[in-house]
A = this chain, B = another copy of it.
Amino acid sequence: MKNTIKQLKEYLINHNIKPSTIRLKVLEYLLNNRIHPTADDIYKNLLPQIPTLSKTSIYNTMELFANNGVVKILSFDGKEAHYDVNTELHGHFKCRRCGIIYDFNVPFDIPIPNELKEFDVKEVDINFYGICHKCNKQRGQEM
């Protein structure tokens, strides 16, 4: 909706990715549905539009996207991968009740700890777990 096909193509080309039908559809989906979807989410959503679609292609596409900085791969509790089009540094909160993944700003500069002074830190994951405010309210009513 928000992005023209031309814009999507440019976006991929800027990330050194040849635009193909599937890649454009996946990108469009990711940009319009910022819910940290799984491979299965993406697959299920695009299947009606691309009846010949395979999961393999989703995985191929996501690996390509990850390697070219289009998405960051998230995982929580060692479970299935989620994909985040927002590759800027930020934290995630995963609700253990409803499963929704919330973004939050890391409201502090993350200092490299002394122990890691000579380490080459390339990536930082900050994941919180618990119960989100919506589920907290519901839980309150139940009791």
Bound complex: CA of A122 vs CA of B115, how far in Å? Answer: 26
Q: Is A124's beta carbon under 8 Å from chain B? A: yes
Q: How many copies does the complex hold?
A: 2
Residues of B contacting A51 in the complex (Cβ-Cβ under 8 angstroms): none
Chain A residues within 8 Å of chain B by Cβ, number:
41
Cβ B114 vs Cβ A107 within 8 A: yes
User: How distant is A3 from chain B, measured CB to nearest CB, in Å?
Assistant: 26
**Residues of chain A from 107 to 137 with CB closer than 8 A to chain B in the complex:** 107-108, 110-111, 113-116, 118-133, 136
Q: Chain B's nearest CB lies how many Å from the CB of A44? A: 20
- Contact: B111 with A111, CB < 8 Å? no
Interface: A75 (CB within 8 A): yes
